[in-house]
A and B are shown apart, each in its own frame.
Chain A
Amino acid sequence: MSHQRGAGRPHPSWALPAVLFFGFFALAPMALAFGLSFTTWNGLGEPRPAGLANWHALLTDGRLARSLAVTVALTVVSCAFQTTAALLLGVWAAGPQRNRAVLSAVFFVPFLLSSTAVSLLFYALLDPNFGIVPGDTLGTTSGAFLALVFVGGWQFIPFHTLIYQGGARQIPEVLYQAAAIDGAGRLRRFRSITLPQLRNTAATSLVLMVVGSLTYFETVLILTQGGPGTDTAILPYLMYEAGFKSYDFGYASAIASFLVVAATTLSLLLVRVTGFGAMRSTREGM
């Protein structure tokens, strides 16, 4: 019945509205950012050609390198903190304890606030004259950096805990039973069963974390304004400051283009590593 297999399939043009919309509001601006990076523009008037001036400045004035280092450091430390906490909490929450349902519900509360609300909450809590943490935390480089890591974790660990909880629930019970019969201890079972079985879950969670940490923008804008000095000026914040504070939209566009290229590379890498894009059912092999 081979002629039946083609019957009733949608025409590829059904995908067209989505492609056009995404093309117009996401892809075209990316291309436009690249174009604008070769102009001077103060946000009013029209952009004027400026050749390679913005790119020359970007690559020679050292701001990009510093900001890139801060962005990578913040991403790596945040991911390490959030993964460790979410893995332990998620595996625990997937277990049989009687009080875990209540606790899981409480753990979830920070995630119900928007990033802006969370940032404002910690802006108050870290205020040197008012807050509950003594001293001027946000005034020191390491304090500001750790505050960003902590605040990001406070908000997003609940979400990743949920992902790990879902993953841990799907580990077949028989694996633990077999290991128990073989006399494997608790740590051994965690290392040899739980961790390897959570590999795909960890990949998904990590993708969302890395993508999410690029959007720490609000937290930086509200808590540190990139300070002290430029010590917490992550790339999106550097772009915002160049554009919407110094009205140097050409330079901002050069940073944005750099960000697009870096993020696209990251996308391709993540899709490949996690098998996200593979055209296969998630039920295969079950």
Chain B
Amino acid sequence: MKRPANPLAGLGAVIWLAVVLVPVYVMVSVSLTRQDEALGSNALRPPRHPTLANYGTVLAGGFGHFLGNTVLVAAVVVGIVLVLCVPLAYVAVRTRGFWSGGAFRLFLLGVAVPAQAVVVPLYLMITKLNLYDSLLAVALPTAAFAMPVSVLVLTGTLRDIPEELYEAMALDGASPARMLFRLVVPLARGGIGTVVVYASLQAWNGFLFPLIFTQSEDSRMLTLGLFTYVSQFGVDIPALLASVVLSGVPVFAVYLVARRTLVGGLMGAGGK
């Protein structure tokens, strides 16, 4: 017997479909509209003379460079988080004691603390470290603030590895490092995938750190690039929306190729 369909939620699903699609439709349609045509016309009407000119304007404005910066920062953030958090979670799950327990609880304290809360002192520190206006100035604190949730996810996954597997490897004389690479990492793939998705989203979404810690066009990231388009293009809403569409294209491409990993990773963040 199958679980019966839920008509109330089904109705909601159709309503939500419209809520999702109308803004997406307007975004794409207006981004294809000539600017003189867009002003004063109904945004819901499809463009009469579709044009890709707005996309050309945006691409000429450094879009590719900003995207490259964001991808670079995301890669560094994911690297730092994995290299630091996997051993920590391993220690938290495999050892009992004052120090390992304390280390784990330290990260629990930070779960709800938003990065915004420390942007002023971080600004002071970044300037003193001579990192101002560099991509590292964004990547390092972004990684630090992605760590608490990553630690929670990883310890959750590592606890599911049965004790007997460690014992079997210990009988074979395996060192802790060998267990980490041969047992923990392969069996924690799901949790590691979740952390990769989570940490890259933090970097992808980051706005305040790039806004405060960078200045030049050289180190501008995509979110800030979009934000500066507002002042740059002013009332040129078609160009603005073209930049928004373009910013979604890379993730959309990843989504099409790696839908299972992406969705599975996010589901893993809270599926249990």
Which chain A residues have a beta carbon within 8 Å of chain B's beta carbons? 4-5, 7-12, 14-15, 17-19, 21-30, 32-33, 35-36, 43, 47, 85, 88-89, 91-93, 95-97, 100, 103, 105-110, 112-117, 120-125, 127, 129-132, 154, 157, 159, 162-163, 165-167, 170, 173, 176-177, 180, 186, 189-190, 200-201, 204-205, 207-208, 210-211, 214-215, 217-218, 221-222, 236, 239-240, 243-244, 249, 252-253, 256, 259-260, 263-264, 266-268, 270-271, 276-277, 279-283
Expressed in whole angstroms, the Cα–Cα distance for A249 and B123 within the complex equals 10
Chain A residue numbers with a CB within 8 Å of B13 are 88-89, 92-93, 100, 103, 107
Inter-subunit contact A264/B113 (CB<8 Å): yes
Inter-subunit contact B244/A239 (CB<8 Å): no
Inter-subunit contact B247/A8 (CB<8 Å): no
Inter-subunit contact B113/A260 (CB<8 Å): yes
Inter-subunit contact B267/A27 (CB<8 Å): no
Known contacts A26-B110, A211-B111, A253-B121; A162/B27 CB under 8 A? no
Chain A residue numbers with a CB within 8 Å of B23 are 110, 121-122, 125, 154
Which residue, A22, A33, A154, A221, has most C-beta atoms of chain B within 10 A?
A: A22
State the interface size on chain B (CB cutoff 8 A).
118
Q: Which residue of A lies closest to B169 (CB)?
A: A8
Inter-subunit contact A124/B240 (CB<8 Å): yes
Inter-subunit contact B248/A162 (CB<8 Å): no
8 Å CB interface, B198-227 against A: 204-205, 207-208, 212, 222-224, 226-227
Which chain B residues have a beta carbon within 8 Å of chain A's beta carbons? 1-10, 12-13, 16-17, 19-24, 26-27, 30, 38-40, 43-44, 80, 83-85, 87-88, 90-92, 94-95, 97, 99-100, 103-125, 140-141, 143-145, 147, 151-152, 156, 159-160, 166-167, 169-171, 174-177, 179-180, 204-205, 207-208, 212, 222-224, 226-227, 229-230, 237, 240-241, 243-244, 247-248, 251-252, 255, 259, 263, 266-272
Inter-subunit contact B108/A120 (CB<8 Å): no
Chain A residue numbers with a CB within 8 Å of B1 are 173, 176-177, 180
Inter-subunit contact A109/B20 (CB<8 Å): yes
